[in-house]
């Protein structure tokens, strides 16, 4: 059941403590598991009863996103390629599923550190796929990709088999799209040449509690400004449209998709088909947070430098996903905004600086007490794990 705030205009974080599910017998690896989508997925897998191994170098992920102690959670702080060598025994045969979410993300990071972004997205994926393909019983693998793969295409809605159009290699902004496209090529090549059971998931603007605005993510950036009573900055004219999907919907469908045998060897758009302009998104944030702030429009060049190209519209066709696993997003954008605001407020009230969340890295591994003594992590756990009660 979902816990609704007493006053939706002043959202509250919820703490939900649930019984520890019985072990499922599955061993699951999540790379980038301390990140935004990854941490939500980890909670889902732990709820399912899985033994979960997380690999994350914490470059953008945060240790506070995960429970400090859980008997079925093991954390390896390292790059994927390093962990494959240092923990070869733990990551050898016996894995049932792998979710490869580790990546450089966010426009700000891509533009500011293109070398690190390209190398992270390609070399780490290549190392993981090569290692998994050599196992006696290779696990099923979900490789995370991005709507950025579609580049500058103006053919709407975006379909998985569409042609893609990129800008010149002299513009760093397109390096991310190209690197994720190479990831997809690698994944599909391992599927066809080495019979590795792979699914590719193209994420479209996933948002929700746990996301930070450090690297250009628009929704948490707008919410943080609104909560501070500041002007919310919209880049460009605000007429560009995006489709936002709650991370709880996205993380919930990933295990279902990977478990669906006909999905193997295919690419799937993951997201919502409901479009909204960025100006309307900013207005919704101001309304839901009851902020007195205003909207401030800034040219892209003032934020990302000259020559930056933004897409006017980005909308997925999710018919392939719906046909495969009956995906239908359940969380409204208003609820997502409210819960994200509640998560940010909870961090401020507790004194946790989400931007510096890795200073006190908890030790994770089998045999510890279930859950966390950190009340903010517990609040976030409630937001991450509570399920919507669907109408009959």
Span 202-260, pLDDT tens digits: 999 999 999 988 767 899 999 999 999 999 999 999 999 999 999 999 999 999 999 99
Token reading at 115: 């070398």
Q: How confident is the model at residue 306 (pLDDT cuts 50, 70, 90)?
A: confident
Instruction: List the beta bridge partners of residue 268.
Output: 201
Residue 372 · residue 360 · CB < 8 Å: no
**Is 85's pLDDT higher than 60?**
yes
155 inside domain: yes
Residue 115 and residue 95: Cα distance in Å, rounded? 31
Instruction: Give the model's pLDDT for residue 92.
Output: 79
Residue 124 within a domain: yes
65 part of a folded domain? yes
pLDDT band at 353 (very low <50, low <70, confident <90, very high): low
176, 190, 235, 304: the active-site residue? 176
pLDDT in tens, 18-55: 345 667 789 999 999 999 999 999 999 999 999 999 99
Q: How far apart, in whole angstroms, are the C-alpha atoms of residue 112 and residue 266?
A: 32
**Is the per-residue pLDDT at 59 higher than 80?**
yes
> What distance in Å separates the CA atoms of residue 246 and residue 383, rounded to the nearest whole number?
12
DSSP β-bridge partners for residue 323: none
Question: In this model, does residue 81 exceed pLDDT 50?
Answer: yes
What does each C-alpha distance from 104 to 17, 31, 45, 144 come to in angstroms? 33, 12, 23, 11
Q: What is the mean pLDDT of residues 195-202?
A: 98
Q: pLDDT higher for 150 or 116?
A: 150
Residue 8 CA to residue 339 CA, distance in Å, equals 9
Q: Which of 159, 249, 160 is nearest to 199 (CA)?
A: 160
Active site residue 304: no
Q: How many Å apart are CA 145 and CA 201, to the nearest integer?
A: 6
202 in a structural domain: yes
pLDDT band at residue 116 under the 50/70/90 scheme: confident
CATH number of the structural domain spanning residue 162: 3.40.50.720
Instruction: Provide the number of structural domains found in the chain.
Output: 1
CA dihedral of 108, 111, 115, 116, whole degrees rounded to 10: 0
Indicate whether 301 belongs to any domain.
no
Task: Name the average pLDDT for the chain.
Answer: 84
Band (pLDDT 50/70/90 cuts) for residue 388 is very low
Task: Please give the average per-residue pLDDT across 197-202, as a whole number.
Answer: 98
Tens digit of pLDDT for each residue in 269-296?
Answer: 999 999 999 999 999 999 999 999 899 9
Write 223-226 long-range contacts (CB < 8 A, 24+).
223/285, 223/289, 223/337, 223/340, 223/341, 223/344, 224/344, 225/293, 226/285, 226/286, 226/289, 226/291, 226/293, 226/341
Q: Which of 8, 356, 314, 352 is nearest to 162 (CA)?
A: 314
- Please name the residues in contact with 53: beta carbons below 8 A apart, sequence gap of 6 or more: 27, 28, 29, 30, 74, 76, 90, 91
The pLDDT score that the predictor gives to residue 381 is 40
High-pLDDT (> 90) share of the chain, %: 67
Selection from 2-16, 72-86, 91-105 with the highest mean pLDDT? 72-86
Is 308 contained in some domain?
no
Angle at 390 between CA 384 and CA 392, to 5 degrees: 165
| pLDDT band at 16; cut points 50, 70, 90 | very low
Radius of gyration of the chain (CA): 20
The verdict on residue 291 lying in a domain is: no
Res. 385 pLDDT band, cuts 50 70 90: very low
Residue 13 clears pLDDT 50, i.e. is over it: no
Question: Could you tell me which residue, 385 or 88, shows the higher pLDDT?
Answer: 88
- Residue 51, domain extent: 27-211+245-272+315-330+356-385
pLDDT by residue (tens digit) across 155-193? 999 999 999 999 999 888 888 899 999 999 999 999 999
Q: Is the pLDDT of residue 14 over 50?
A: no
**Assigned domain for 266 exists:** yes
């Amino acid at each position: 059941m979902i816990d609704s705030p007493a006053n939706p205009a002043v959202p509250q974080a919820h703490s939900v403590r649930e019984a520890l599910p019985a072990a499922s017998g599955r061993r699951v690896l999540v790379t980038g598991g301390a990140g935004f989508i990854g941490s939500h997925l980890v909670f889902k897998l732990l709820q399912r009863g899985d033994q979960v191994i997380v690999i994350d170098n914490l470059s953008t992920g945060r240790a506070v996103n995960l429970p400090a102690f859980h008997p079925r959670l093991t954390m390896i702080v390292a790059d994927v390629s390093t962990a494959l060598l240092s923990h070869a025994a733990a990551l050898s045969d016996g894995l049932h599923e792998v979710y490869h979410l580790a990546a450089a993300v966010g426009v700000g990071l891509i533009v500011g550190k293109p070398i690190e972004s390209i190398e992270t997205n390609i070399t780490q994926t290549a190392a993981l796929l090569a290692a998994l393909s050599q196992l006696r019983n290779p696990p099923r693998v979900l490789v995370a990709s991005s709507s950025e793969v579609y580049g500058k295409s103006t053919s709407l809605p975006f379909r998985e088999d569409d042609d893609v159009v990129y800008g010149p290699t002299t513009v760093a902004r397109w390096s991310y799209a190209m690197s994720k496209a190479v990831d997809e090529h690698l994944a599909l090549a391992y599927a066809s040449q080495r019979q590795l059971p792979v699914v590719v998931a193209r994420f479209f603007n996933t948002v929700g509690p746990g996301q930070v605005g450090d690297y250009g993510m628009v929704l948490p950036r707008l919410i943080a400004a609104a909560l501070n009573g500041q002007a919310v900055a919209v880049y460009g004219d605000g007429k560009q449209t995006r489709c936002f999907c709650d991370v709880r919907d996205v993380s919930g469908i990933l295990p279902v998709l990977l478990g669906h045998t006909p999905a193997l060897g295919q690419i799937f758009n993951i997201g919502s088909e409901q479009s909204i302009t960025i100006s309307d998104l900013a207005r919704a944030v101001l309304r839901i947070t009851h902020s007195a702030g205003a909207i401030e429009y800034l040219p892209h060049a003032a934020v990302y430098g000259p020559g930056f190209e933004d897409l006017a519209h980005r909308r997925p066709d999710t018919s392939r996903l719906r046909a495969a696993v009956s995906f239908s997003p359940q969380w409204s954008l208003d609820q997502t905004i409210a819960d994200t605001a509640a998560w940010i407020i909870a961090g401020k009230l507790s004194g946790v600086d989400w931007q510096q969340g890795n200073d006190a890295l908890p030790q994770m591994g089998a045999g510890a007490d279930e859950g966390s003594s950190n009340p903010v992590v517990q609040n976030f756990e409630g937001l991450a794990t509570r399920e919507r009660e669907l109408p009959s």
